[in-house]
């Protein structure tokens, strides 16, 4: 089953209004065969919307309202113009002690509010070296995924590869994405995230069951992001022609 590639950019805590023209350049350079999205900081969701690229959030709260200082609800995100939301990113799991059940509640809230949920999973270097990578990730999936899989996206991000310049071998990626596919079924898009850049995008995106990428630092500029999008388009063409 061929699934349209999705290249999603996670700007993390980077960007101001002055750099939003990058999104317009990305929109102009994206072919029709690839889906793209940008997830900027909360403060940029509203001004980023309407620039030709779907805009997402980097997190949400599972509650609709309440005494949750510093948090943002799904309804607030949607009103600002977001159409999707990342939940369970490894940095939030580590820095904010988010559990699988926390992530699942956020994903369910995103879905209920009309946003596409991108659920992140991934193992640490210690877990991989112990031979536990696949069992850890499948355990995270069991605890983090909502029952409703319609429109759901899963992002596999080996924690030890994020921002380090290190990447798993294509064999490692293939094995993990196959293990994830066995859990989520044929229709869920599975993204690879972990130091994706123009130099390795084509190789990673050609791996079976890799339906796109969750891109960090290389998504901050069109000059770095568009070659990754182009690589996805090239893989899509090859898949279409057999």
Task: Return the active site residues.
Answer: 89, 157
Instruction: Give the residue numbers of the binding site.
Output: 10-12, 163, 195, 216-217
Instruction: Give the residue numbers of the binding site for substrate.
Output: 10-12, 163, 195, 216-217
The 8-class DSSP code of residue 17 comes to: G
| CA triple 79-80-85, angle to 5 deg | 95
214 vs 16: CA distance, rounded Å: 21
CB 62 within 8 A of CB 109: yes
* Contact residues for 145 (Cβ-Cβ < 8 A; gap 6+): 104, 107, 119, 152, 154, 183, 184
Burial class of residue 45 (count of CB atoms within 10 Å of its CB; 0-12, 13-18, 19+):
buried
233 vs 208: CA distance, rounded Å: 15
67 vs 46: CA distance, rounded Å: 23
> Can you give 48-106 as a three-state secondary structure string?
HCCCCCCEEECCCCCCCCCCCCCCCCHHHHHHHCCCEEEECCHHHHHHCCCCHHHHHHH
CA distances from 44 to 18, 79, 115 (A): 10, 13, 17
């Amino acid at each position: 089953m061929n699934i349209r590639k999705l290249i999603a950019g996670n700007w993390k805590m980077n960007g101001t209004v002055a750099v939003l023209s990058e999104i317009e350049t990305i929109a102009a350079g994206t072919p029709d065969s690839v889906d793209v999205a940008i997830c900027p900081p909360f403060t940029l969701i509203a001004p980023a919307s309407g620039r030709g690229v779907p805009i997402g959030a980097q997190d949400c709260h599972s509650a609709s309202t309440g005494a949750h200082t510093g948090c943002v609800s799904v309804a607030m995100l949607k009103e600002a113009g977001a159409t999707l939301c990342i939940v369970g990113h490894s940095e939030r799991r580590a820095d904010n002690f988010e559990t699988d059940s926390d992530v699942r509640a956020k994903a369910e809230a995103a879905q209920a509010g009309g946003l596409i949920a991108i659920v992140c999973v991934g193992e640490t270097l210690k877990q991989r070296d112990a031979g536990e990578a696949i069992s850890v990730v499948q355990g995270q999936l069991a605890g983090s995924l909502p029952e409703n899989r319609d429109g759901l996206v899963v992002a596999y991000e080996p924690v030890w590869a994020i921002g380090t310049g290190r990447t798993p071998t294509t064999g490692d990626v293939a094995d993990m994405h196959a293990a994830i596919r066995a859990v989520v079924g044929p229709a869920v898009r599975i993204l690879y995230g972990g130091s994706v850049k123009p130099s390795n995008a084509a190789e990673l995106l050609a791996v079976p069951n890799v339906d796109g990428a969750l891109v960090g630092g290389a998504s901050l500029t069109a000059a770095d992001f568009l070659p990754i999008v182009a690589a996805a388009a090239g893989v899509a063409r090859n898949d279409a022609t057999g």
